[in-house]
């Protein structure tokens, strides 16, 4: 069984119109599967639902984060490939309202579901772990509780949150072995390991590919059974 | 002379609240500056939502390592004992009450301690990020902010009109004019900026302040 793909373009084949896609990372550059995102724009799947912590800022505004600029998920909204975004920071208040997702939203082209960040993480874990949901105190008394079941447990109010899963996850890890075991680097871990576990097909971009046995089993963060496709983008 | 505390001084005052051994999360903007003002005799473990515990001071921007940043995208420095984890574990820490103090910014705080710090008028797509989880889960919530809006209106209000982050969660407010404790008995004015009178601070604060019998100039 070969999980290794020569290019990002090859690794994103089969992503279909209407798919739900989780995109790893946190918000800016570190941890983002940037090369897979670019490949997805070329691949062209449409009507997508994106699950990601942040909506990205697009290439122009990214220069405020990294002077030479970089491509984030903003390019998907610019391309009109996305129907719905689910995440905790669709737009950054510190950036002008010209980021691609915010622009598309203000033009009525995209639906947004805003989820508290910890609730987002837990919904993904619930989906990954086969749970039907969970009760959380986060969002009680705010707009987040609207339309949700409430329950008092041990005298405290909670709201019911439902699991999230995806058809595909685009993940950035530091290294993989050819079986698919993953290790991450620094704060670039963030949403990557939990999203890798919550998708039917998990596609991973790594800085370096190694042979099985090269990792100390004690340091592996994502076990290989969660990984379907790996592509190396050396840096 | 009448002085409004600058951002660095507000952050310095907030950092004075960090007890030795405490786990502290710093929000976007002014709160992030607190990382550089930990009193020398205390060890503090900074936690950040993106999955790091125990980072050091902020690093210079020109040495930015994009795989060693806090949740506000500021580069941070390594420190012995620092560790990384995923977003799920990070919010287990936050929601589960394992973070002692969070310092956040705010648009409005009500006299009961309701916090509004994410929804901006005219920007419906801005999200709450981790603020709701932090406001619910952390043991002590300190707000650093400017006392009034650009138009001179009080950010401390009777009822928040901006979207709430969480109800009755704020413990302490540190502004350019005052240090205020939020209690069941109301807003206690504990410290006041140099040169300001109680009446002057009250005049730019919508709810009635209760003046502490130990009221003093802001302690740095």
In the predicted structure, residue B162 carries a pLDDT above the cut 80 = yes
CB spacing of A137 vs B90 below 8 angstroms: no
Give the residue among A40, A11, A33 at the shortest CA–CA distance from A230.
A11
**Res. B124 pLDDT band, cuts 50 70 90:** confident
Report the b/e string of B160-182 with b at 16+ CB within 10 A. bebbbbbbebbbbbbbbbbbbbb
Alpha helices, H only, chain A: 8-11, 34-43, 58-62, 74-78, 100-106, 117-128, 192-196
Residue B100 pLDDT class (50, 70, 90 cuts): very high
Candidates B17, B40, B49, B206; catalytic one: B49
> Is 0.90 topped by the overall pTM?
yes
Task: Return left, alpha or beta for B159; rule: phi > 0 is left, psi -120 to 50 is alpha, else beta.
Answer: beta
Q: Do B91 and A122 count as a contact with CB atoms less than 8 A apart? A: yes
Quick one: pLDDT band at residue A235, thresholds 50, 70, 90?
confident
Mean pLDDT of B170-198: 97
| Interface probe, candidates B66, B92, B121, chain A, greatest A C-beta count within 10 A | B66
Interface size between A and B, measured as CB pairs under 8 A? 151
Q: Which of A89, A185, A188 sits opposite B127 (nearest CB)?
A: A89
Instruction: Match domain B7-217 to its CATH number in 3.30.930.10, 3.40.250.10, 3.40.50.1390, 3.40.1080.10.
Output: 3.40.1080.10
Q: Which residues of B78-100 are buried (b: 16+ CB within 10 A; e: fewer)?
A: eeeebebbbbbbbbbbbbeeebb
Q: Is the pLDDT of residue B64 over 90?
A: no
pLDDT digits (tens, 9 = 90+) for A171-198: 999 999 999 999 999 999 999 999 999 9
Contacts of residue B197, Cβ cutoff 8 Å, sequence gap at least 6: none
pLDDT at B191 > cutoff 80: yes
pLDDT band at B220 (very low <50, low <70, confident <90, very high): confident
Pairwise CB contact (< 8 Å): A186 & B166: no
Closest Cα in chain A, distance from residue B40 (Å)? 26
User: Hey, are the CB atoms on B50 and A119 less than 8 Å from each other?
Assistant: no
Q: What is the DSSP letter of B68?
A: S
Contact yes or no for B164 and A141 at CB 8 A = yes
Quick check: is B159 catalytic? no
pLDDT score for B116: 97
Question: What's residue B180's pLDDT?
Answer: 98
Can you give the residue ranges of every domain in chain B? Answer: 7-217
Q: Supply the DSSP symbol for B60.
A: P
Contact A38, A45 (CB under 8 A): no
Rounded average pLDDT over A7-21: 98
Of A31, A90, A106, the CB nearest to B127: A90
- Name the pLDDT band for B128 (thresholds 50, 70, 90): very high
- Could B86 and A87 be called an inter-chain contact, meaning their C-beta atoms sit closer than 8 Å? no
pLDDT higher than threshold 80 for residue B62: no
CA distance A2 to chain B (A): 27
Q: Is the pLDDT of residue B63 over 80?
A: no
Q: Which CATH superfamily does the domain covering A4-232 fall into?
A: Glutaconate Coenzyme A-transferase (3.40.1080.10)
How far apart are alpha carbons A191 and A193 in whole angstroms?
Answer: 6
Q: Which among A124, A154, A152, A157 is positioned nearest to A138, based on CA atoms?
A: A157
pLDDT digits (tens, 9 = 90+) for A76-96: 999 999 999 999 999 988 888
The verdict on B98 touching A (C-beta cutoff 8 Å) is: no
pLDDT of residue A108: 96
Closest chain A residue to B65, measured at CA? A30
| pLDDT at res. A36 | 97
């Amino acid at each position: 069984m070969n999980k290794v793909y020569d290019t990002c373009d090859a690794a994103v084949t089969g992503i279909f119109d209407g798919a739900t896609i989780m995109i790893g990372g946190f918000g800016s550059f570190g941890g983002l599967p940037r090369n897979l995102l670019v490949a997805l724009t070329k691949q062209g799947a449409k009507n997508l639902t994106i699950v990601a912590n942040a909506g990205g800022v697009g290439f122009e505004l990214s220069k405020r984060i990294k002077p030479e600029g970089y491509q984030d998920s903003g390019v998907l909204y610019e391309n009109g490939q996305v129907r719905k975004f689910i995440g905790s920071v669709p737009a950054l208040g510190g950036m002008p309202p010209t980021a691609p997702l915010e622009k598309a939203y203000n033009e009525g082209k995209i639906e947004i579901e805003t989820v508290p960040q910890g609730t987002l993480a837990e919904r993904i874990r619930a989906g990954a772990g086969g749970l039907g949901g969970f009760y959380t105190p986060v969002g009680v008394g705010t707009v987040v509780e609207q339309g949700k079941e409430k329950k008092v447990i041990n005298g405290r109010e909670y709201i019911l949150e439902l699991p999230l899963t995806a058809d595909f996850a685009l993940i950035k890890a530091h290294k993989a072995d050819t079986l698919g075991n993953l290790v991450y680097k620094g704060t670039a871990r963030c949403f990557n390991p939990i999203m890798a576990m919550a998708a039917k097909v998990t596609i991973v971009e790594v800085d370096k590919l190694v042979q099985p046995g090269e990792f100390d089993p004690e340091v592996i963060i994502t076990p290989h059974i969660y990984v379907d496709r790996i592509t190396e983008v050396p840096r | 002379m009448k002085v409004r505390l600058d951002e660095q001084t507000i952050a310095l005052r907030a950092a004075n609240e960090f007890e030795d051994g405490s786990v502290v999360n710093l929000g976007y903007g002014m709160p992030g500056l607190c990382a550089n003002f930990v009193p020398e005799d205390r060890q503090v473990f900074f936690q950040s939502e993106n999955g790091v515990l125990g980072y050091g001071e902020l690093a210079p921007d020109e040495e930015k390592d994009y795989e060693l940043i806090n949740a506000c995208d500021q580069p941070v420095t390594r420190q012995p004992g620092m560790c990384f984890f995923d977003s799920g574990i990070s919010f287990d820490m936050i929601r589960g009450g394992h973070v002692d103090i969070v310092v956040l910014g705010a648009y409005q705080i009500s006299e009961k301690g309701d916090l509004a710090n994410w929804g901006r008028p005219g920007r419906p797509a801005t999200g709450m990020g981790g603020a709701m989880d932090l406001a619910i889960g952390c043991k002590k919530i300190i707000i650093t902010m400017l006392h009034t809006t650009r138009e001179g209106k009080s950010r401390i209000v009777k009822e928040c009109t901006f979207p709430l982050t969480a109800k009755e969660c704020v413990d302490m407010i540190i502004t350019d004019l005052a240090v205020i404790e939020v209690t069941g008995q109301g807003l206690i004015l504990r410290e006041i900026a140099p040169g300001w009178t109680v009446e002057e601070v009250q005049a730019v604060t919508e709810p009635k302040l209760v003046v502490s019998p130990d009221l003093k100039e802001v302690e740095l």
